[in-house]
A and B are shown apart, each in its own frame.
Chain A
Amino acid sequence: MTMHRRTVVKAMLACGALVGLGAVIPGAAFAARNKDAFSSDDQAKAMQALFDAEPANSQDIVLKAPSIAENGAVVPVTVSTEMTGVESISIFVADNPTPLVAEFMIPAGTKASVATRIRMGKTSTITAVVKADGKLFSTARETKVTIGGCGG
């Protein structure tokens, strides 16, 4: 019986190692999609993986989201800014299983204003990160969720 338990433990360890490897390889293979950032369960790590830097707080980003969302499965969010040279707009929800919601590329000629709808598992802060002229800016606000959007 003891032997049997050993093998199970070993198998579990091997599994863990495989999962670890799996997380690293796709990141290298698909440069276009930042899998590490999208699969990270920690907001700070996701930001690090996506931008390799920390954004500075800014008053120039307008993040529109309800203060109370009745249904976490559909939370309307609008991010806009008057900054020039905006390259991308990203949205994070800190307490979601994977905080990075989406990264929108803003090519020249497109207004730095994006509206979309996101899921929220529970009450959390929503953070919008704007990349403009290679610099990062962010703003955050809290949305209370009465019914989560991740449960079955």
Chain B
Amino acid sequence: MAGIFKVKAKAKDGVTKVKMLAKHVMETGQRKDKKTGEIIPAKFIQEITVQHAGNTVFSGQLGTAMSKNPYFSFTFTGGAKGEELSISWTENTGASATETAKIK
């Protein structure tokens, strides 16, 4: 699964502001399939970590109450134009991935 995150990271005066949006259903495990009446199994991102130059700059433990296509915004000191951020995430199903994004 390549690239569920859309990232906008802007460095200015030694501070980087990151806005990122994941394309993910964030299924809670409480909804029912309208046709079959069966519960749709939970499928959500439960852990996310953002690293810059080997240091963790942001991380979160997420519950099912995050909205569909979750959005995060945060600011950290450091970072410059052209440098890379690496974003790792893990689903409750065990699926995980690491993506990179460039700071603009």
Contacts and interface: CB of A to CB of B under 8 A. Distances in A.
Contact of A149 (B46, B55, B62, B67): B67
B101 to A, nearest CB: 16
Interface string B15-44: 100000000001010111110000000000
Interface residues of A, number: 37
Chain B residues touching A, majority SS: strand
B60 A113 contact: no
Interface residues of B, number: 33
A100 B46 CA distance: 12
B12 to A, nearest CB: 13
B59 A104 contact: yes
B73 A105 contact: no
Interface of B: 15, 26, 28, 30-34, 46-47, 55-68, 70-78
Interface of A: 32-34, 38, 73-76, 78, 93, 96-107, 109-111, 113-120, 149-152
